[in-house]
């Protein structure tokens, strides 16, 4: 055998449809040739920016519209409100010939505001401060019957998506039509939403989002910036550029809501949980909904449950939007840390307790591999270390549903043998275009080099938005169907001409074979076509032949070091085992997993939106104080693609972000012997935890690593 | 940014003259790397009508590095990379190399670093007024002040932002200035007493330009930043130490704390307690560093810095003793 | 203009020239124009991205005489007599730099919005230090944020582009608990 390619993670060899395929637009991205919506800049376009409330709650006193309009370059000032309910709330917009004019117009507007009382977090609400409610009679009995009761409160912060390309769009008139270059994760959502503002029927609107600079759940709607852009384009008939700046992006384009979770449960000496009550409070800013958290997740046995008891709590801040696995990382943090706390109380290895409480057969096997790869046998008992630097090991889990949506994929076979895969859905960085190409190539039996992909345009066949991790699972069956149709068409032609049985023909690496005999090269077979052949594969969004078997489950294990003098946490290793049915492209699949782990690590350690308690102004709407993990904080990550014999393509975008913060919080608990129940795990919080007594134990510890010692 | 004119004088005399408000330009401002100035201009905190660019002045001494002097226009990156300084005063490279990002360090100058404005997040947001602007209150006091002082040396609770300034404190540094009637200012006099003047970034007059810094050589010197995040973050607390060693014995010490007070915060009581100790006497060095928090009056949100400060100082002392002066960040 | 003193430019728009990727680009802009704005809005050089606009993310990184700088925090007028290289000047799809090829090979991008800045900063590292080790790579890229989380692949790409082995995955388990990084 030849040398394995240098980019191969040996553990994932042979796990995917295309182990060696590289992202089709990789070079475009690495050379700056890829053009994003935000790069659609013309010298003569109009710039739009919203007029925003600078405080948590305020009423507008005055505003000098005339001065703004008198500013050179300002063309329009639209004021439609006189109060703001959060920092970043908008009351209109300004349109100008260039960005400096826009800034100066906003400045000249000189809006003055009266600040009003505001709420700045979940705990500003009495409901959240109230003592826990009584469990249902049944749960109360289960808790009482248990040997021990345990109560704790956990919290997580508001996290912002922080896509590097901000929200917005550029609208360009093109004869009758408008071309909308949008930064979106829903090509067809934009197409449906923008018309109302542009004053154009759907048929005259073309959406282009060939490249999108991240979304993570926040780009499913055109937003206020898009609406204002549409209106300005309608009024002016000119090209319009309406993108948020970084501050606006932090303030008003959604977030992962904060969570407060109170738990009361009863457990026995062996860690069995007899009954539990969970109360959750989601911090939804000014939104009435969207703060739900998946806790408990259903992965573990909690006995007689009194749940959900959820309330969304309003305060004066921008509302949430779906963010990569909405509700899940925060829920997993609570649930997994809770389990480790129970394990510690009972003197159990948390992995052993998980094995008992978790009935997923696949995760059971994943536990073994995760423990092996992280070196679980080196884990010291929780709280047993004394030095300055203490090492901790922790584990977290995830699972994901089987969401799906209708999708169409067109495949065009050209007479030169080249194949074009056409899909209107977008590639927000997940590798969608590469996955489709690799799947079609493998399914037909031609090299990937024969395939190109047209993607991210509303003139192409409709496909789903990138949400709920349904995009790849839903487009894959459509792509398989299209590939099969294309293959059959070409083989039928060959069979007819060569008088062969089409059913006996196969295609191997671009060569059509009958048994072991070469019949004709794919290119030469296609050359007989008088014109390109187009076929369309469809997935009905329900069951279809290509849906297959599979599920997304995962286990992650983290190793951290905690500096107990400073409270700093260094995440050293994360093992991330993930099943996603049939993995399509190894490299992009690994990237999804690593990206999830990195976002999860960043969430665990650094990220939180900070509101000024007095005024509700967001104090860190920037990348200086809204801290995101960088190169020197990045752990070593081992992404493990777990295939078993699954055949259907399943979710991969969201699940890997779920367990990471939980695994890290558990590792920190293991290292320092006290739980830190609030994210992010800031140094000040670690130091405060260290000043507390060691976490309580209600049952003496079982002899550590007993079987290990026996073996030795 | 508001409209402004731009000029690149070729000598400091012209630059000084241009920097003084006059009939043509009422709000001139000096710019070196612009890393701080542009930030403030973008936020609307600064609205100059003339930007006086100092990067094209024809004077090689502005870019020179010697064992005891650095030109004012030398970038933080050049300080961090200098072999000369690694020998004479490793603390300077360590402090410079830990500041900001590579992209910023390639542009940010020594002079600009010393004169940069506070990073107090209230101050940096144009919608807040405060004591340090035109107001009578400090919104940080009742607000979220996690990055603020533990030494309340004045009514403003900002911490001094410069990584470099405390290093110059322990090196007994001076700044060279032109444009006024003095040519040297001891670093300890560069910043106004925050109990008296809490609005000025320095005592310099508008015409005065920093052309260089001078300092004693100190091969046993070290800097430690304790950061929440290792890739680009402002220190939660930083520690600076210079040791004069006689064999293994500390003859004298100079320590200073960063990110805990409105100015770099020298710790003479620690210096006195360290004098005479063996560098191997960990217990007594620890005890000496514990008193670094003497006189501190932390805010509710900065209490954690009380734990961090003695650690930062102790680690800086340890690094200086073993002349590993370039310990980078707290990841040790 | 004023007498014999230095030339005063602006505040009105004035003719400005930049040397970008070996070409001279002329445009008219007021002094209150950043280098990034000049590149993107005047010169149609859109590889460098506007992300934070405050020198905190590296998305707008360009080389100024071979050193990486944040073009969002620099005035175009500050760069008029300097050699500016953007990601487009490092290589193209048809003639990519080995670093760009390694970035693609190792899937060192997802959405790709940080990628031009990352490539530019990494290229500057390789110019200065042709065989950087992992810690040097991490340090050189500490000013570049990637929200999608591609750092490990970037490290491998830079290692391979400099003729070194990528970080081996995945089973160097049992390393000492003192834990030097991967
Ligand atoms: C993302 C980011 C992170 C940062 N992190 C850190 C950090 O961790 N530690 C740290 O110390 N700094 C940090 N900084 C600040 C940075 O180091 C300073 O902004 C920089 O050093 C300022 O230098 P400059 O040459 O760009 O100054 P400029 O912005 O040009 O000037 C700053 C001020 O000094 C005045 N000035 C400049 N030169 C002279 C002179 N020769 N004589 C008189 N007055 C002059 C200017 O008028 C201006 O008021 C960070 C900055 C950014 C953007
Ligand atoms: S700490 Fe100082 S700069 Fe910050 S708000 Fe208070 S007075 Fe202003
Ligand atoms: S856009 Fe310039 S550094 Fe972020
Ligand atoms: S690839 Fe998306 S931000 Fe780096």
ipTM for the predicted complex: 0.96
Q: Is the Cβ atom of C147 under 6 angstroms away from ligand 3? A: no
Which pLDDT does position A702 carry in this prediction? 61
Q: Which range, of A187-196, A209-218, B321-330, averages the lowest pLDDT?
A: B321-330
Q: Cβ A214–C144 below 8 Å, yes or no?
A: no
Q: Cβ C138–B100 below 8 Å, yes or no?
A: no
CB atoms inside a 10 Å sphere around CB C26: 10
* Distance from C-alpha of A503 to C-alpha of A109, rounded to nearest angstrom: 74
Q: Cβ A612–B143 below 8 Å, yes or no?
A: yes
The pLDDT > 70 percentage for chain B reads 97
Which pLDDT does position A5 carry in this prediction? 55
**Quick check: is B183 in a domain?**
yes
Chain centroid to Cα A422, Å, comes to 25
Alpha carbon nearest to ligand 4 atom 4, residue: C146
**Quick check: is B134 in a domain?**
no
Residue A47 at interface with chain C, using a CB cutoff of 8 Å: no
Q: Cβ C109–A30 below 8 Å, yes or no?
A: yes
Q: How confident is the model at residue B131 (pLDDT cuts 50, 70, 90)?
A: very high
Q: Are residues B186 and B260 in the same domain?
A: no
Nearest CA-CA distance, residue B231 and chain A, Å: 5
- Mean pLDDT over B60-70 rounds to 97
CB atoms inside a 10 Å sphere around CB A393: 25
* Distance from C-alpha of B52 to C-alpha of C11, rounded to nearest angstrom: 13
* H, E, C per residue of chain B: CCCCEEECCCCHHHHHHHHCCCCCCCCEEEECCCCCHHHHHHHCCCCCCEEEECCCCCCHHHHCECCCEEECCCEHHHHHHCHHHHHHCHHHHHHHHHCCCHHHHCCCEHHHHHHCCCCCCCCCCCCCCCCCCCCCCCHHHHCCCCCCCCCCCCCCCCCCCCCHHHHHHHCCCEEEEECCCCCEEEHHHCCCCCCCCCCCCCCCCCCCEEEEEECCCCCCEEEEEECCCCCCCCCCEEEEEEEEEECCEEEEEEEEEECCCCCCEECHHHHHHHCCCECCCHHHHHHHHHHHHCCCCCCHHHCHHHHHHHHHHHHHHHHHHCCCCCCCCCCC
* Distance from C-alpha of A25 to C-alpha of A35, rounded to nearest angstrom: 11
Which pLDDT does position A469 carry in this prediction? 74
Q: Is the pLDDT of residue A395 over 60?
A: yes
The pLDDT > 90 percentage for chain A reads 88
Q: Is the Cβ atom of C145 under 6 angstroms away from ligand 3? A: no
* Distance from C-alpha of A601 to C-alpha of A638, rounded to nearest angstrom: 14
Nearest CA-CA distance, residue C101 and chain A, Å: 7
Residues of B in contact with C49 (CB under 8 A): none
Residues of A in contact with C167 (CB under 8 A): 636
Question: B touches which chains (3+ CB pairs under 8 A)?
Answer: A, C
* Distance from C-alpha of A611 to C-alpha of B5, rounded to nearest angstrom: 37
Q: How far does residue A112's CA lie from ligand 2's centre (Å)?
A: 22
Q: Are residues B74 and B190 in the same domain?
A: yes
Nearest CA in chain B to A105: B2
Residue A288's SS3 state is: coil
* Cis check: omega of the bond before B321, within 30 degrees of 0: no
The DSSP string of A460-482 is SPP---S-TT-HHHHHHHHHHHH
Q: How far does residue C138's CA lie from ligand 3's centre (Å)?
A: 18
The pLDDT > 70 percentage for chain A reads 97
Question: A touches which chains (3+ CB pairs under 8 A)?
Answer: B, C
* Distance from C-alpha of C52 to C-alpha of A472, rounded to nearest angstrom: 31
- Mean pLDDT over A131-158 rounds to 97
For position B281, which CATH number holds?
A: 3.30.390.50
pLDDT tens-digit readout, A597-608: 999 999 999 999
* Distance from C-alpha of B170 to C-alpha of B186, rounded to nearest angstrom: 12
- The two tokens of residue B138 are 């400090």
Residue from C68, C70, C141, C146 to probe ligand 3 pocket by mutation (most atoms less than 8 Å from CB): C70
Atom of ligand 3 nearest to the CA of B103: 3
Nearest residue to A677 via CA among A125, A279, A152: A152
- Chunked into runs of 10 residues, chain C (182 residues) has average pLDDT values of 74 97 97 98 98 98 97 98 97 98 96 98 98 97 98 96 81 32 30
Nearest residue to A557 via CA among A340, A312, A275, A266: A340
Residues of B in contact with A566 (CB under 8 A): 226, 307-308, 311, 330
CB atoms inside a 10 Å sphere around CB A405: 18
Answer with the one of B170, B189, B214 that is the final residue of a domain. Answer: B214
Q: Are residues B234 and B277 in the same domain?
A: yes
Size of interface B-C (CB pairs under 8 A): 108
Residue C164 at interface with chain A, using a CB cutoff of 8 Å: no
Topology of domain A255-401+550-710, CATH:
Aldehyde Oxidoreductase; domain 4 (3.30.365)
Domain residues for the domain of B8 are: 1-57
Residue A561 at interface with chain C, using a CB cutoff of 8 Å: yes
Q: How far does residue C112's CA lie from ligand 4's centre (Å)?
A: 5
Decide: A680 and A629 in contact? Cβ < 8 Å.
no
* Cis check: omega of the bond before A50, within 30 degrees of 0: no
Q: Cβ B103–C9 below 8 Å, yes or no?
A: no
Q: How far does residue C61's CA lie from ligand 4's centre (Å)?
A: 14
For position B32, which CATH number holds?
A: 3.30.43.10
Q: Which CATH code fits A407-539? A: 3.30.365.10
Alpha carbon nearest to ligand 2 atom 2, residue: B156
Q: Are residues B78 and B195 in the same domain?
A: yes
Kindly state the DSSP code that residue A236 receives in the 8-state scheme.
Answer: H
**Quick check: is B49 in a domain?**
yes
Residues of C in contact with B104 (CB under 8 A): 55, 70, 73, 143
- For A624, phi then psi, to 5°, come to -85, -50
For chain C, how big is the Rg over CA atoms in Å?
A: 19
Nearest residue to B194 via CA among B235, B162, B239, B149: B149
**Quick check: is B127 in a domain?**
no
Residue C4 at interface with chain B, using a CB cutoff of 8 Å: no
Residues with CB under 6 A from ligand 4: A 164, 214, 429; C 109-115, 146-148, 150
Q: Cβ C152–A429 below 8 Å, yes or no?
A: no
Which pLDDT does position B145 carry in this prediction? 98
Indicate the pairing of strand B174-178 with strand A533-539: unpaired
- Mean pLDDT over A35-58 rounds to 97
**Quick check: is B332 in a domain?**
no
Homologous superfamily of domain range A37-116+175-239: Aldehyde oxidase/xanthine dehydrogenase, a/b hammerhead (3.90.1170.50)
Residues of C in contact with B100 (CB under 8 A): 55, 143
Q: How far does residue B160's CA lie from ligand 1's centre (Å)?
A: 12
**Quick check: is B256 in a domain?**
yes
Q: CATH 3.30.365.10 occupies which residues in chain A?
A: 255-401+550-710, 407-539
Q: Cβ A41–C44 below 8 Å, yes or no?
A: yes
Residue C50 at interface with chain A, using a CB cutoff of 8 Å: yes
Residue A622 at interface with chain C, using a CB cutoff of 8 Å: yes
Nearest residue to A426 via CA among A451, A391, A397, A462: A462
Q: Are residues B83 and B171 in the same domain?
A: yes
Q: What integer best gives the mean pLDDT of chain A?
A: 94
Q: Are residues B109 and B206 in the same domain?
A: yes
* Distance from C-alpha of C83 to C-alpha of C67, rounded to nearest angstrom: 10
Nearest residue to A240 via CA among A74, A97, A36: A97
Residue C163 at interface with chain A, using a CB cutoff of 8 Å: no
* Distance from C-alpha of A436 to C-alpha of A450, rounded to nearest angstrom: 13
- The two tokens of residue C87 are 């990601």
Number of domains chain B is built from: 3
Which pLDDT does position A119 carry in this prediction? 97
Atom of ligand 4 nearest to the CA of C111: 2
Q: What integer best gives the mean pLDDT of chain B?
A: 96
Which pLDDT does position A656 carry in this prediction? 97
**Quick check: is B136 in a domain?**
no
Q: Are residues B103 and B186 in the same domain?
A: yes
The helix (H) or strand (E) run that includes residue A100 is helix A99-109
Q: For the whole model, what pTM was predicted?
A: 0.96
Q: Is the pLDDT of residue A11 over 90?
A: no
Q: Are residues B225 and B306 in the same domain?
A: yes
Identify which of C53, C73, C124 has the shortest CB distance to residue B34. Answer: C73
Which pLDDT does position A521 carry in this prediction? 96
Which pLDDT does position C44 carry in this prediction? 97
Which pLDDT does position A10 carry in this prediction? 78
Q: Is the Cβ atom of C70 under 6 angstroms away from ligand 3? A: yes
Answer with the one of B39, B57, B75 that is the final residue of a domain. Answer: B57
Q: Cβ A29–C171 below 8 Å, yes or no?
A: no
For chain B, how big is the Rg over CA atoms in Å?
A: 19
Q: Is the Cβ atom of C74 under 6 angstroms away from ligand 3? A: no
**Test mutation, A8, A11, A26, chain C, max C CBs within 10 A:** A26
Decide: A253 and A230 in contact? Cβ < 8 Å.
no
Which pLDDT does position A453 carry in this prediction? 95
Q: Are residues B191 and B300 in the same domain?
A: no
- Mean pLDDT over A164-173 rounds to 98
Q: Which domains does chain C have, with CATH numbers?
A: 14-89 (3.10.20.30), 91-182 (1.10.150.120)
How many Å from the N-terminal Cα to the C-terminal Cα in chain A? 38
Residue from B148, B156, B201 to probe ligand 2 pocket by mutation (most atoms less than 8 Å from CB): B156
- Mean pLDDT over A183-211 rounds to 94
Nearest CA-CA distance, residue B313 and chain A, Å: 12
Decide: A79 and A92 in contact? Cβ < 8 Å.
yes
Q: B193-199: long-range contacts (C-beta < 8 A, 24 or more apart)?
A: B193/B153, B193/B154, B194/B153, B194/B154, B194/B156, B194/B261, B194/B262, B194/B263, B195/B153, B195/B154, B195/B155, B196/B154, B198/B131, B198/B132, B198/B154, B198/B155, B198/B156, B198/B262, B199/B131, B199/B132, B199/B133
- Mean pLDDT over A525-548 rounds to 89
* Cis check: omega of the bond before A155, within 30 degrees of 0: no
Report A:637-666 residues touching C (Cβ under 8 A): 637-638, 640
Q: CATH 3.90.1170.50 occupies which residues in chain A?
A: 37-116+175-239
pLDDT tens-digit readout, A627-638: 999 999 999 999
Q: Are residues B179 and B293 in the same domain?
A: no
Nearest residue to A457 via CA among A179, A226, A215, A207: A207
The DSSP string of A583-607 is -SBHHHHHHHHHHHHHHHHHHHHT-
- The two tokens of residue B286 are 């620890």
Report A:388-427 residues touching C (Cβ under 8 A): 389, 391
Residue B143 at interface with chain A, using a CB cutoff of 8 Å: yes
Which pLDDT does position C98 carry in this prediction? 97
Nearest residue to C37 via CA among C13, C8, C3, C66: C13
Q: What's the CA dihedral at B36, B37, B38, B43 to 10 degrees?
A: 90
Q: Are residues B80 and B207 in the same domain?
A: yes
Q: Is the pLDDT of residue A500 over 50?
A: yes
CA distances from A267 to A146, A229, A332, A337, A676 (A): 5, 57, 19, 15, 21
* A673 dihedral zone (left: phi>0; alpha: psi -120 to 50; beta): left
Q: Cβ A623–C56 below 8 Å, yes or no?
A: yes
Q: How far does residue C55's CA lie from ligand 3's centre (Å)?
A: 4
Kindly state the DSSP code that residue C19 receives in the 8-state scheme.
Answer: E
Atom of ligand 1 nearest to the CA of B204: 43
**Quick check: is B295 in a domain?**
yes
Q: Are residues B247 and B311 in the same domain?
A: yes
């Amino acid at each position: 055998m030849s040398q394995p390619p240098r980019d191969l993670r040996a553990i994932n060899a042979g796990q995917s449809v295309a182990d060696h395929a590289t992202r089709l637009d990789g070079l475009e991205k690495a050379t700056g040739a890829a053009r994003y919506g935000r790069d659609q800049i013309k010298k003569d376009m109009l710039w739009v920016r919203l007029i925003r409330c600078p405080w948590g709650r305020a009423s507008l006193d005055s505003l000098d519209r005339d001065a703004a309009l008198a500013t050179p370059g300002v063309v329009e000032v639209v004021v439609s409100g006189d109060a703001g309910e959060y920092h970043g709330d908008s009351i209109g917009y300004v349109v100008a010939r260039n960005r400096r004019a826009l800034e100066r117009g906003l400045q000249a507007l000189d809006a003055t505001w009266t600040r009003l009382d505001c709420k700045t977090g979940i705990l500003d609400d009495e409901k959240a401060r109230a003592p826990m409610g009584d469990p249902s009679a049944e749960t109360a009995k289960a808790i009482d019957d248990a040997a021990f009761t345990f109560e704790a409160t956990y919290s997580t912060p508001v996290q912002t998506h922080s896509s590097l390309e901000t929200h917005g769009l550029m609208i360009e008139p093109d004869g009758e039509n408008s071309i909308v270059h949008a930064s979106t994760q829903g090509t067809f959502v934009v197409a449906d939403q923008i018309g109302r503002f542009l004053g154009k029927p759907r048929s005259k609107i073309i959406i282009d989002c060939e490249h999108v600079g991240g979304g993570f759940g926040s780009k499913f709607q055109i937003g206020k910036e898009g609406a204002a852009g549409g209106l300005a384009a309608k009024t002016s008939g000119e090209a319009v550029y309406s993108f948020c700046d970084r501050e606006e992006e932090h303030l008003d384009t959604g977030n992962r809501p904060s969570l407060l979770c109170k738990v009361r449960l009863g457990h026995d000496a062996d860690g069995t949980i007899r009954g539990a009550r969970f109360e959750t409070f989601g911090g939804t800013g000014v939104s009435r909904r969207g703060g739900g958290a998946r806790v408990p997740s259903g992965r573990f046995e909690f006995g007689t449950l009194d749940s959900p008891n959820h309330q969304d709590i309003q305060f004066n801040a921008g509302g949430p939007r779906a963010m990569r696995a909405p509700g899940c990382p925060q829920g997993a943090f609570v649930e997994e840390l809770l389990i480790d706390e129970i394990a510690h109380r009972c003197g159990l290895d948390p992995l052993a307790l998980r094995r008992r409480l978790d009935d997923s057969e696949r995760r059971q096997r994943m536990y073994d591999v995760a423990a092996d790869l992280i070196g679980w046998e080196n884990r010291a008992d929780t709280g047993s270390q004394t030095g300055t630097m203490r090492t901790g090991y922790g584990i977290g889990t995830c699972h994901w549903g089987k969401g799906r949506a209708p999708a169409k994929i067109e495949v065009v076979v050209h007479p030169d043998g080249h194949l074009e895969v056409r899909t209107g859905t977008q590639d927000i960085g997940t590798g969608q275009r590469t996955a489709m190409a690799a799947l079609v190539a493998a399914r037909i039996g031609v090299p990937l080099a024969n395939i190109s992909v047209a993607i991210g345009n509303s003139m192409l066949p409709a496909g789903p938005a990138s949400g709920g991790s349904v995009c790849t699972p839903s487009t894959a069956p459509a792509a398989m169907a299209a590939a099969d149709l294309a293959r059959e068409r070409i083989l039928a032609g060959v069979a007819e001409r060569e008088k062969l049985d089409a059913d006996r023909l196969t295609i191997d690496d671009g060569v059509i074979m009958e048994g072991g005999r070469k019949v004709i090269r794919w290119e030469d077979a296609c050359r007989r076509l008088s014109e390109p052949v187009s076929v369309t594969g469809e997935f009905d969004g329900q069951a279809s032949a290509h849906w297959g078997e599979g599920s997304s489950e995962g286990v992650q294990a983290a190793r951290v070091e905690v500096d107990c003098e400073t409270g700093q946490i260094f995440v050293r290793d994360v093992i991330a085992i993930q099943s996603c049915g049939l993995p399509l492209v190894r490299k992009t699949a690994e990237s999804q997993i690593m990206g999830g782990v990195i976002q999860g690590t960043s969430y665990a350690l650094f990220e939180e939106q900070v509101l000024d308690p007095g005024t509700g102004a967001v104090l860190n709407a920037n990348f200086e104080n809204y801290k995101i993990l960088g190169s020197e904080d990045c752990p070593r990550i081992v992404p493990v693609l777990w295939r078993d014999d699954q055949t259907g393509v399943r979710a991969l975008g969201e699940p890997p972000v779920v367990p990471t913060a939980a695994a890290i919080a558990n590792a920190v608990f293991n290292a320092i012997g006290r739980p830190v129940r609030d994210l992010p795990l800031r140094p000040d919080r670690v130091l405060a935890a260290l000043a507390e007594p060691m976490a309580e134990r209600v049952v003496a510890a079982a002899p550590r690593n007993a079987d290990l010692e026996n073996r030795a | 940014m508001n409209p402004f004119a731009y000029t690149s004088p070729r000598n400091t005399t012209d630059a000084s003259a241009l920097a003084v408000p006059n009939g043509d330009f009422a709000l001139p401002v000096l710019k070196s790397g612009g890393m701080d100035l542009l930030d403030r201009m973008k936020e609307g905190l600064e609205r100059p009508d003339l930007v006086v660019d100092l990067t094209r002045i024809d004077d090689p001494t502005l870019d020179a590095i010697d064992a005891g002097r650095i030109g004012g226009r030398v970038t933080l990156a050049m300080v961090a990379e200098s072999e000369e300084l690694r020998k004479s005063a490793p603390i300077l490279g360590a402090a410079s190399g830990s500041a900001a990002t590579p992209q910023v360090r390639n542009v940010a100058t020594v002079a600009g670093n010393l004169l940069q404005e506070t990073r107090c997040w209230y101050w940096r947001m144009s919608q807040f007024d405060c004591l340090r602007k035109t107001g009578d209150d400090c919104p940080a006091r009742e607000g979220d002040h996690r990055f603020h002082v533990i030494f309340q040396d004045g009514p403003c609770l900002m911490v001094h932002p410069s990584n470099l300034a405390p290093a110059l404190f322990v090196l007994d540094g001076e700044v060279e200035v032109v444009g006024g009637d003095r040519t040297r200012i001891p670093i300890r006099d560069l910043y106004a007493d925050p109990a008296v003047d809490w609005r000025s970034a320095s005592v310099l007059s508008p015409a005065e330009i920093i052309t260089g810094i001078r300092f004693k050589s100190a091969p046993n010197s070290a800097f430690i930043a304790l950061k929440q995040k290792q890739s680009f973050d402002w220190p939660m607390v930083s520690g600076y130490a210079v040791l004069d060693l006689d064999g293994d014995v500390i003859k004298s010490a100079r320590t200073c704390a960063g990110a805990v007070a409105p100015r770099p915060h020298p710790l003479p009581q620690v210096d006195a307690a360290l004098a005479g100790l063996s560098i191997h006497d960990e217990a007594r060095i620890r005890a000496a560093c514990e008193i670094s928090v003497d006189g501190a009056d932390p805010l509710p949100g900065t209490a954690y810095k009380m734990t961090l400060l003695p650690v930062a100082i102790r680690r800086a002392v340890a690094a200086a003793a073993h002349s590993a002066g370039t310990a980078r960040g707290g990841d040790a | 203009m004023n007498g014999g003193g230095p030339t005063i430019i602006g505040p009105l728009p004035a003719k400005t020239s930049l040397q970008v990727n070996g070409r001279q680009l002329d445009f008219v802009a007021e002094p209150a124009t950043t280098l990034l704005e000049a590149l993107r809005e005047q010169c149609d050089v859109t590889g460098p991205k506007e992300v934070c606009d405050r020198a905190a993310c590296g998305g707008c990184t360009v080389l100024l005489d071979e050193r990486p700088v944040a073009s969002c925090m620099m005035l175009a007028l500050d760069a008029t007599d300097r050699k500016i290289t953007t990601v487009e000047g490092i290589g193209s799809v048809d003639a990519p730099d080995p670093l760009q090829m390694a970035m693609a090979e190792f899937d060192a991008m997802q959405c790709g919005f940080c990628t031009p800045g990352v490539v530019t900063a990494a290229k500057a590292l390789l110019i200065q230090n042709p065989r950087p080790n992992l810690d040097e790579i991490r340090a050189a890229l500490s000013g570049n944020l990637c929200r999608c989380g591609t750092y490990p692949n970037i490290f491998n790409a830079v290692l391979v582009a400099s003729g070194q082995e990528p970080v081996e995955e995945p089973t160097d388990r049992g390393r000492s608990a003192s834990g030097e990084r991967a």
